[in-house]
Chains A and B, each alone.
Chain A
Amino acid sequence: MDATIPSRQKVMKDHKDAGGFTAAVFPIHYPRPLFRAYNVLPVEVWGPPKADPHLWEAHLQTYTCSVIRNGLSFFIAGGLDGVDMLVVPHCCDTLQGLGSILQNYLPQNKRVLTLYIPRDSREIDINYLAREMKILSGRIGEVTGTELDESKLIKCIDEEDRSNAIVGRMFQQRTQLSCSDREFYEIIRSREYLPADAFITLVEGFMARAKNQDGGRIPVVISGIIPEPMDIFNSLNGIGLTVVGDDLFTTGRRIYSRSDSTDPWTRMSEMIIKGPPDSTRGNFLTNRVKYLVDLTKESGARGVIFYHVKFCEPEQFYYPALKKGLENAGIPSVLVEAEIGDPLPGQVVTRLEAFKEVIS
C-alpha cells in the first residue's frame, strides 16, 4: 500500500519545481485552503521522529511535549530549510512558547506566521477567527509576493470540504476495508502534506481496492494526539484490536464539517470552530464526553484507548472527566502514554493486551 503514497519530500519538491511555495505548519488547526489558494503547500510538522533528539535541549525544558521538542529539533537540524514560511497556530501554551522561541530567538531567513485560535464558539469567536485569517492571508501574500484570488480560495475550500467528507467516509467504512490499521492511517495521514485533490484521488483509489475486511478483531476507539510511533497499530492489530473510531488531533478532530456561509472567511472559520469537540479549543467537558461516548457507540467500538503524549496539558486535563463519562456509559477505557521518536514501550503493549482481555 505504501508504494501508492508519494513521499513528503517528493510532494514538496514537485510543488516547488512547479513554481509553488511551501509552509511548515505546526499543530493543530489552521486554514488549509487559504494556503492552497496562494499556491502554498502546507506541510504539517507533528514532531518528526527522525530528528536528533537533543537539539531541542538548547531551547526547551524537559517537561515540554515531544511533539514540539521533536518539531524544534527537526527545524534546528535543517529539516525545514527548504520551506518558505513557518506557521505556528496558537492552540496551547506549549505552541505559544514555541512560536515565541522561533520568532524571538532562532535566527532564520523565513517568516514565522502565527494564528490565534479562539477558545469558544460564539459568533464573536467565528468573526474573530475570520479576521485572524484575513490578517494571516495578508502575511502569506507578503511572503509569496502574490495577491489572493477569492474565486480560487472558494474552490480550495470546496476541495477541502470534499477532503473532509472522504475522510469521514473512510472511518464510516473502516470495518469493510481490508487493510491493516497502519495502512489505513498511512493513507489518512498523507493528508498532512498532500494537496486536497491529490489526497482525494489517493483515497478514492484506496477505497475502491480495499474491500471486504475479514473481521475478527475487536473494535476500539483511539483518543489523543497523534498515532506515533505508528508501531502502535502493528501492536493493536497483533493483539487482535482494530481502530474503528478516531478522536485524535491529527485525524478525527480535524474532520471539519461543511459551513453554510457564503463568505469564504466565515466558512474557513466555522470549519475549525464548529469542528469536533476538542480540548485545545476549550470545548466543554460535557461536550467532549458526549462526543466520545457517541463516537464509541456509533462506531461499534467496545472500548477507548487514550493514547497520550507525555506533558500534553490539554489532554491531561480532560482525561479524568472523559474516563468517568465513559465509565458511566459502561464503556471501558485504558490510558497509555508514549513519546514521539521513542520505540513503543513494552509496558504499553502489556497494558493493551490486558485491556483486550477486559473488552473481549
Chain B
Amino acid sequence: MSILSAVSFNWKVNVLGKAFLRFERRRGEWKMRKPYKKQNPNLAPLLKSVPYLKELISTHYLHGRYADTHKKVAWVTSGAPVEILKALDYFTLYPENHGAVCGVRRQVVELSGVAENMGYNRDLCSYARGDLGSVVSGKTPVGRLPKPDLLFCCTNICQTVMYWYQVLADHFKVPLIMIDTPFIYDKVTEHEIEYVKKQLEYAIATAERVAGKSISLKQYKKVGIYAKDAVLLWNEILDLCKHRPSPISAFDQFFYMAPIVDMRGEDHAVKFYTQVIAEVKQRIADGVGAVTNERKRLLWDNLPIWYEVRRFAEVLAEKGYCIAASTYTHAWGGDMKHIIESIDTTKDDMDYLLSMLASAYLHAILNQSSGYKLNVMLKMVKEYDLDGVILHNNRSCKPYSLGQIDQRDRLMNEYGIPTILLEADHNDPRSFSEEQAMNRLAAFIEIVENKK
C-alpha cells in the first residue's frame, strides 16, 4: 500500500468512518432509552445491543469498502474454515451474508434479474443469483464490495457454493481454494478427517502464496482461541433461550449470528457476544421475554425468509408464539460445538490443530444426513420445551430442504409434534405467496392450540 493510500484509508475508515459509526451507535443507544412510539406491544423492545451490532456490521462493510487498497481480500463461504485466512490477516467477506443484506433490503429480484439475463436459471440458489448479479452490475446496498484476491469455499453447506465460486473465480481471475468435505451419511471417519486435513494443508500453501507471507503458529492459535470463544459464547446465548419466556427469539438470533459468521476468529465477536450474554441474562432476571405474552414455543428449520422476518415475528407474537430455537442459528452447535470445545488451544502442534479444524468443519449440520438433522430437531424440541416445528421448505436450498417431507411426517406421526412445511425461498420473494403462507400458518396454529 502506498503512503498516500495508507493515509487515505486511515482517514476515511479509522478516523472519519469509525467516529461516525461510533457516534451513530451512541445516538442509537441514547434513543433507545426513551420508549419507542411504534413499539409492537407483543414484542419486547429492541435489544440494547442492537446499535452495537449495527456498528459492528457497518464497520465490517466499511472496512470492506476500502479493504482491497490495504489488505488481501478473500471471499468466503459461511461454513469455511476461515481461521487459516484470519491468521494470514485476510479481510474476509461473506457473499452469503451480503446476500442476506440484499434480501432484507429487498434488492434480490433486481440483482437476480441481472444473473438471469446472463443465463442463470431462476431455479438456482437465490444467494448465488443475487451475488452474481451484484458482481456483474456493481450494485450493492453496502456501497461497494472489495475485489477478492482469493476465493475460499467449503462444500460442507452445499455443492452450490462450489459452482458459484467457480463462476466468481472465472469472473475475477483469482485463485479458488475449495475445501471438499465428504458428506456424512453416518459417522465421520479418520479417512474423511485425513482428506480434509490434507486439503487444509494445500489451502494454507495457496493462501500463503497469495498473501505473500507464511502462517505463524502463534497467530493461528490466537485466531483459534477467538473463534473457539465466540462459538462457545454464541452457543451460550442460544442456550439461554431454553428459559421461559425465551429472552430472545430466533428472529433476533438471525441477525445476531452475523458476527459468528463474519467475525469468527476476531476479538470483536468475542467482546460483542460477552456483552449480549449479560444483556440476555438481565432480560431473564427481569422476566422479559422476546414475545411479551409467550404462550407457545416453536422451532424454525432452514434459513430465515429474509424479506419477511419482521412480519413473521409480528404475526406469531400476536398469538403469543415465540420461535425460541432454530437449526440455522445452531449451525455452530451440536457436534461442531463439542469438537471446537474440545480443541486444546494450548498445544503447539499445527498437525493436531488442523486435524481438529478438519473434524469440526466436517461435522457441520448441513454436511450430515437428514436423519441426523431430524435427531437434532427432536433434541431441540425437548431441550427448549417446544410446541411445534416450522420447516421452511426453501426452494433455493436443496441440501437443507430435501428430506423435510419425511422429517415432517416423523415429527408429526411418530412424535406427535405439530409441524408444517412452509413453502418459500429465503431470498427471492417471487417464490413466496404471502396469502398461502399466512393461511398455512393459521392452520398450523390451530393444530398447536388443539394439541393436548
Q: Which residue numbers of A lie inside 8 Å of B, CB to CB?
A: 58-61, 63-64, 90, 92-94, 96-101, 103-105, 114, 116, 118-120, 122, 124-125, 128, 131-132, 135, 279, 282, 284-286, 310-311, 313-314, 316-321, 323
Residues of B contacting A97 in the complex (Cβ-Cβ under 8 angstroms) = 370, 398-399, 402-403
Contact with A along B163-205 (1 / 0, CB 8 A): 1101101100000001010110100000100010011001000
Interface locus among B69-77, B119-127, B252-260, B320-328 = B119-127
Interface locus among B14-22, B152-160, B339-347 = B152-160
Tell me which of B119, B170, B178, B403 contacts A319 (CB under 8 A): B119
* B163–A314 touching, CB < 8 Å: yes
Given the known interface contacts A100-B371, A118-B180, A285-B167, the answer about A61 and B401 at a Cβ–Cβ threshold of 8 Å is yes
Compute how far the CA of A100 lies from the CA of B402 in the bound complex, rounded to whole angstroms.
9
> How far, in Å, is B268 (CB) from chain A's closest CB?
33
| Known A100-B369, A103-B185, A114-B185; 7 more pairs at CB < 8 Å | A98-B402, A100-B371, A104-B369, A135-B191, A313-B160, A316-B124, A317-B124
* B371–A104 touching, CB < 8 Å: yes
* B399–A93 touching, CB < 8 Å: yes
Compute how far the CA of A311 lies from the CA of B163 in the bound complex, rounded to whole angstroms.
15
Residues of A contacting B369 in the complex (Cβ-Cβ under 8 angstroms) = 99-100, 103-104
Q: Which residues, 360 to 395 on B, are CB-close (under 8 Å) to A?
A: 369-371, 374, 393, 395
Compute how far the CA of A125 lies from the CA of B192 in the bound complex, rounded to whole angstroms.
11
- Contact size range, B: 35 or more
Q: Which residue numbers of B lie inside 8 Å of A, CB to CB?
A: 118-121, 123-125, 128, 155, 158-160, 162-164, 166-167, 169-170, 178, 180, 182-183, 185, 191, 195, 198-199, 202, 369-371, 374, 393, 395, 398-399, 401-406, 409-410
Enumerate 23 A-B pairs (CB-CB under 8 Å) in ascending A order.
Answer: A58-B405, A59-B406, A93-B159, A93-B398, A93-B402, A94-B398, A96-B399, A96-B402, A97-B399, A99-B183, A99-B369, A100-B185, A100-B369, A100-B403, A118-B182, A122-B202, A124-B199, A313-B124, A313-B163, A316-B121, A316-B123, A317-B124, A317-B166
Tell me which of A105, A314, A319, A320 contacts B159 (CB under 8 A): A314
Do most interface residues of chain B lie in helix, strand or loop, or is the interface mixed?
Answer: helix
Compute how far the CA of A103 lies from the CA of B402 in the bound complex, rounded to whole angstroms.
13
* B403–A101 touching, CB < 8 Å: yes
Given the known interface contacts A104-B369, A321-B170, the answer about A128 and B195 at a Cβ–Cβ threshold of 8 Å is yes
Q: Which residue of A lies closest to B197 (CB)?
A: A124
Given the known interface contacts A105-B370, A313-B163, the answer about A61 and B155 at a Cβ–Cβ threshold of 8 Å is no
Given the known interface contacts A93-B160, A118-B180, A119-B162, the answer about A99 and B185 at a Cβ–Cβ threshold of 8 Å is yes
Tell me which of B124, B159, B405 contacts A92 (CB under 8 A): B159
